[in-house]
Amino acid sequence: MATIRKTNTKPELIVRKLVHRMGHRFRLHRRDLPGTPDLVFPGRKKVIFVHGCFWHRHNCKAGRKKPSKNVEYWLPKLKRNVERDAKCVKELRSAGWQVLVLWECKVRDSERFAAVLLDFLGRRDSK
């Protein structure tokens, strides 16, 4: 998994920039949390994952795309990604974290997704 996990991908940078502009402070890639969430808000007990549609099998065009090579190798691997994602979210939630998963394709639709972020994080001054 570690070998195919891409960090600091473009959608992730977009998210960070926007969250930063909203005035929220966050930590990156906390390895001590299940799934190493991309953005962590320790004070609010919230985490955000920014998932690539292909790697995490989003229900969209990119996520349904089959690997072009080595299908026998990649399909099970992708399936394990999805199972692992679900498991991590479950573990985080049972530990009291609120989890938001953002998909690469949605992040590109930046206006709508900014509203989703604001909804999840709330205003900075309202704790």
Binding positions for Zn ion, rule: CB under 5 A: 53, 58, 60, 63, 103, 105
Residue 53 or 92: the one with the smaller Cβ distance to Zn ion is 53
Q: How far is the CB of 53 from Zn ion (least distance, A)?
A: 3
Q: How far apart (Å, rounded) are the C-alpha atoms in residues 10 and 53?
A: 13
Residue 30 or 84: the one with the smaller Cβ distance to Zn ion is 84
Residue 35 or 63: the one with the smaller Cβ distance to Zn ion is 63
| Cβ proximity of 41 and 121 under 8 Å | yes
Q: How far apart (Å, rounded) are the C-alpha atoms in residues 89 and 9?
A: 21
Residue 11 or 63: the one with the smaller Cβ distance to Zn ion is 63
- Identify the CA nearest to 67 among candidates 77, 59, 81, 82: 77
Q: How far apart (Å, rounded) are the C-alpha atoms in residues 121 and 127?
A: 10
Q: How far is the CB of 55 from Zn ion (least distance, A)?
A: 11
Q: How far is the CB of 103 from Zn ion (least distance, A)?
A: 4
Angle at 11 between CA 6 and CA 17, to 5 degrees: 115
Q: How far is the CB of 96 from Zn ion (least distance, A)?
A: 28
